[in-house]
Structure formats: C-alpha cells, structure tokens
Amino acid sequence: MTTARSTTPESAMTGQPAVPPFAVIPGAQVKKALQGREKAVVELVEATYRLHGTGRSVNPPSSFLRLPDRPSSRIIALPASLGGGARVDGLKWISSFPQNVASGIPRASAVLILNDHDTGYPFACMESSIISATRTAASAVSAADWLSRDRPRPTRVGFFGAGLIARYIHTFLEGTGWSFDEIGVHDVSADSAGGFRLYLEQSGTTGRITVHNSAEDLIGQSDIVVFATVAGQPHVHDPSWFAHNPVVLHVSLRDLAPQILLSATNIVDDIDHCLRAATSPHLAERLTGNRNFVHGTLYDVMSGQVAVPAGRTVVFSPFGLGVLDLAVGKYVYDEVVRSGELQTIDGFFHELRRYG
C-alpha cells in the first residue's frame, strides 16, 4: 500500500482514459475529513438536491436484500451517478442488523464504492456508516431550516429514538447554529435514552434536557420532532398528538400511521423513491389509492415551487438518496487526498492487457 497525492483519478488529470489507482479510506480518515464541517456538508447536500431536482443525476431504486432467517435485518444497495462538478458514479452497500445493539456493536455498517466517471473503474472503497449518518443528518437539518422559515423559530426539539442517527442530527443542528431551550428524549430502551442524555450533557448543550416516558409527551412538547428509530411498521397513530403543528423529521420513515400523514403537509426527498418499501408514505398511498397527499420535494421547497403553510404539521420523509452518499463520499476522498494521506493499493487491478 502506498500514499498517493493526486487530487483526482488519472483519467481526469490526463484527459485520456486510464486505470486509476485504487484507494481504501478507513473510518478514522472519514471522520477526520468531516468533523467540524457541518455547515459545508449541509451546503453540499443542498447543492446535490438541486442537481437531482434538475435531472443531473441518476438514482435508481435501492435494492433490498431480505434475509428469511433474520427477518428484522436487511442489506441495501444504493447505486447512483452524480453530475455537476463531482462527476462520480458509485454504490453504497449498507446493512441494518438491529440485533447488533444487544451485543454492544452498532446496528448499521456500510461501505461506499466510488467509480471513475471516464473508465468506470472503482477508485476508492471507504467506510460509509459515518458518511451515511452524515448525509442523513445534513438532509434533516436542511429540511428543518427550509420547512420552518415561515413560522417562529423552534425552541424545543424532541428525539424519538436515541441512537447514532439522533446523535448526528443533534451534532449537525448545533454545528449549523441551532440552539434550543428544551431538548426532549424518548426511546423504548431506558439505557439508550440515558446514554443519549449523557451525550447531550457532555456536548455542552445549553438546553434543558428531559427524558420523556411516553411518546405523546415528547411529541406534544416539541416544535421539531426527530424520528430516528428502527421501527418496521407504524407505531404512532393519533393525529391529535400533532395538534400544535410541529415540524416532523421522519427520518426512519415507518413510524407514522397513514392517518397522521393525511392530516399533514408532506415533503419528501424523492417521490418515487419514498413511496415504496412499506414506508409510511407508501402505506398512505395504498390506503388512498393516490399520491395527492404528497405536496412536493425538498428541492421544490428550496426552489420556491412549493410553499409550506405555517399553521399545519409538516412531515419530511427522506428515503435517503444514493447521490447524497456519492457527494459526501467524493468530498471525503478529495479531503483525504489534499491531506497527503490517501492510501492506495499497488496492483489492485491486475489483468490490464486485453490479450495478456
């Protein structure tokens, strides 16, 4: 393994197709490249939404590998191609094994493969659970901003689910200038709720922290509600809990009963992607037989094509787009190259002569 210093694959440097060197970027380098750069990453995610919204991306449906002997687990492939300045293709391969938590290891693990735009050769494999959590948090924080612009600035945030994604979303909220008078926490696991409270206290947050025993209390006392659970089907059914019209960041996608969505303004990241795989919006479509309850995408809001009424609950349901992983992954790759610490594997591609 050697250290490379070029900022782009060789094909982009020379103008002629060439096999790029192959690099491996471990989680420590990924975290170092992203840490403390919340504002830059949110701007990157919003720019990627604009590219996607204007047709400068390819984002096929995600493929779910279901495991009959482990029905609560799955592995998902997210292929994508991103245009604009990044010009990169690739694939995120992410697993979700909820039973891992009981063993003291994280639920999700992932790798991201980046492919050279000109040759198709993969030029990097990077640890991607951090990238995935980062783009999820940046997307959620961007939505919190855009969807609350026509209402009083939220002063109370509630986290329903207290794992890694909740932690990243809180980090991104604080890193982009948000502050709250009150921070609520609710989790079916008392240990998880206590652990998240400890994280909040150690983060130096100034808001008053409350662990709520019931979901109803958390929701009713929050201006922004963050759903970051591993729920496989709706478990929140009462629309009256949302009578105070909060902004709901429905990151885990399957927490809310269709009746709640039908009484709210619904914004998604991509309509076709979000209304599948038994998400709450997909269940609402099955119930109604149409998609009229979906008011638009976050890009539609950002571009002024859709207005979000202040006097109604608004639910943001992001399916999670592979193009966001590519954008953040390419950002990490470029940062690692600039640091001079990119580790490439000599001779990774071996059969490079057509006739031997």
Tell me the average pLDDT of the chain. Answer: 94
Convert the pLDDT of each residue in 9-53 to its tens digit.
Answer: 555 555 678 999 999 999 999 999 999 999 999 999 999 999 999
In the chain, the N- to C-terminal Cα span, in Å, equals: 25
Look at residue 12 in the predicted model and tell me its pLDDT: 53
**At residue 149, does pLDDT exceed 80?**
yes
Domain boundary assignment for the chain: 2-131+322-345, 136-317
Convert the pLDDT of each residue in 303-322 to its tens digit.
Answer: 999 999 999 999 999 999 99
Look at residue 32 in the predicted model and tell me its pLDDT: 98
Convert the pLDDT of each residue in 169-184 to its tens digit.
Answer: 999 999 999 999 999 9
Average pLDDT rounded to a whole number, residues 205-211: 95
Query: 3-class secondary structure for 293-313?
Result: CEEEEHHHHHCCCCCCCCCCC
Confidence band for 4, pLDDT divided at 50, 70 and 90:
low
**At residue 221, does pLDDT exceed 50?**
yes
Look at residue 5 in the predicted model and tell me its pLDDT: 46
Q: Check: CB of residue 226 under 8 Å from CB of residue 159.
A: yes
| Both tokens assigned to 214 | 């019931």
Global pTM?
Answer: 0.93
Residue type (1 letter), 125: C
**At residue 8, does pLDDT exceed 90?**
no
State which CATH number among 3.60.21.10, 3.30.1540.10, 3.40.50.300, 3.40.50.720 fits the domain covering 136-317: 3.40.50.720
Q: In CATH terms, is domain 2-131+322-345 a member of 3.30.1780.10?
A: yes
Look at residue 14 in the predicted model and tell me its pLDDT: 56
Look at residue 264 in the predicted model and tell me its pLDDT: 98
Look at residue 7 in the predicted model and tell me its pLDDT: 46
Look at residue 247 in the predicted model and tell me its pLDDT: 98
**At residue 294, does pLDDT exceed 50?**
yes
Based on the number of CB atoms within 10 Å of its own CB, is 126 exposed (0-12), middle (13-18) or buried (19 or more)?
buried
Confidence band for 212, pLDDT divided at 50, 70 and 90:
very high
Convert the pLDDT of each residue in 131-146 to its tens digit.
Answer: 999 999 999 999 999 9
Convert the pLDDT of each residue in 234-251 to its tens digit.
Answer: 999 999 999 999 999 999
Average pLDDT rounded to a whole number, residues 78-102: 94
**At residue 288, does pLDDT exceed 50?**
yes
Average pLDDT rounded to a whole number, residues 273-279: 96
Distance from C-alpha of 353 to C-alpha of 32, rounded to nearest angstrom = 38
Average pLDDT rounded to a whole number, residues 121-132: 98
Query: 3-class secondary structure for the chain?
Result: CEEECCCCCHHHHHCCCCCCCEEEECHHHHHHHHCCCHHHHHHHHHHHHHHHHCCCEECCCCEEEECCCCCCCEEEEEEEEECCCCCEEEEEEEEECHHHHHHCCCCEEEEEEEEECCCCCEEEEEECHHHHHHHHHHHHHHHHHHHCCCCCCCCEEEEECCCHHHHHHHHHHHHCCCCCCEEEEECCCHHHHHHHHHHHHHHCCCCEEEECCCHHHHHHCCCEEEECCCCCCCCECCHHHHCCCCEEEECCCCCECHHHHHCCEEEECCHHHHCCCCCHHHHHHHHHCCCCCEEEEHHHHHCCCCCCCCCCCEEEECCCCHHHHHHHHHHHHHHHHHHCCEEEECCCCCCCCCCC
